[in-house]
Amino acid sequence: MSLFKQRAGTTATELIPARTSGSTRGGVVVTNETALRHSAVWACLRLRANLISTMPVDLYRRIDGIQFELTKPRLLVMPGGDKVDMAEWLYSTQVDLDRSGNCFGLITERDGFNLPARIDLLSLGSVSVVVKNGEIVNYRIDGELVGPRNVWHERQYTVAGLCVGLSPVAYAAWSIGEYLSIQDFALDWFGNSTVPVAHLKNTSARTLSEAQAQALKERFQSNVKAGQPWVTGNDWEYNPLQAANQQTDWIEGKQYGIADIARFFDCPGDLIDAAVSSGNITYANVTQRNLQFLIQNLNPAVIRREGALTRASAQGRYVKLNTNALLRMDPETQAKVIAARIDSRTLAPSEARAIYDMTPFTEAQVAEFKTLFGDPAAKAALPIGGAKKPTGVTP
């Protein structure tokens, strides 16, 4: 079923290839499902969805310039009902967004503000979009028309004048098809027989008829496939045909295909274990690498998800996905940053302890610190020089 249902005045079907029918490239049909046979496609989708779906989702409201965190509605906790929590829901929708540019769900419950309270996700193949004069007028779900008000539709990779997102799988069909064709070739090459194609040559002067050659070939194949030795006189020569160097270009093509797909799916090749050149930028630590990945690759998708969920929230409230988890520092760096913030009075010791899931200091702990390191308040009261003036002594 194609993504669009053609109506007068729209040319959208000319811009987007069919989704589930697929495109034939290199002898294979590329669809949203067959594309998952490409290890790089799977890795990119998995990495992006894993990270976004595990970011904490928070709801805020700003009053007099101060941000307050609010209790989350059901949509931000269990958006798919009692069996589908926010992490699973975000993962499923992100995979669809990254491979097709769209995700769809049926709004089955609403809250007291008449906002979505439950969204049951739909498979891409079950939904088509009815477009008229450049606008979506209906969705067709398993053959049944449903109004836009009852359908959750997020978009990604949009262009002007198009009411749906572009599909990376559709536009990467050439690269995906090449890779899948290479896989099929390799399976055929190594799976057709126990040994590669060979040349069985009669070295005597006699010429074999076609029937004799066929009979000898069948006898040879039956012995080899059965694991039996091939017994001949001195007039036969067997030469296994090794793949010529130029015929092994498919190996290089397969390696190139992984990096090519990583570009289509906005995911750095080194993060999905793709071969990278030695000239790539190196990073001092994992935090810097993750920061670069967040800024250049992941953050735009995060912002789009926040916007979609904010539009489904009550007026004046906004949704944020907490990206701090992606930027976790190594223990040494984190300790230095926390110490610097405490010294600069931008972080309280109790807040620092909360980062490590520790309770604030008890009175006994504070007294122990004073015993070991002295009382900071008492030191601050001393005059310059550190010595207390004797009482009753005139200077």
Tens-place pLDDT, residues 200-253: 666 665 677 788 778 777 777 777 666 666 666 666 666 655 544 444 454 555
The chain-wide mean pLDDT, for the chain, equals: 79
The two structure tokens encoding residue 242: 């090794």
Which pLDDT does position 13 carry in this prediction? 40
Instruction: State residue 260's pLDDT score.
Output: 80
Q: Quick one: which of 252, 288, 240, 304 has its CA closest to 94?
A: 304
Contacts of 131 (CB under 8 A, 6+ apart): 4, 5, 6, 7, 10, 12, 137, 163
Look at residue 162 and tell me whether its pLDDT is greater than 70.
yes
What pLDDT digit, counting tens, does each position of 54-113 carry? 999 999 999 998 999 999 999 999 999 999 999 999 999 999 999 999 999 999 999 999
CB-CB contact of 192 with 157 (8 Å):
no
pLDDT at 45 over 50: yes
Percent of the chain with pLDDT over 90: 38
Span 353-382, average pLDDT: 82
Mean pLDDT, residues 388-394 taken together: 55
160-186 average pLDDT score: 73
What's the pLDDT score for residue 14? 41
Q: CA triplet 257, 262, 267: central angle to 5 degrees?
A: 170
Lowest-confidence region among 132-146, 243-257, 272-286: 243-257
Pick from 120, 130, 66, 55: nearest CA to 93: 120
pLDDT at residue 275, as a whole number: 64
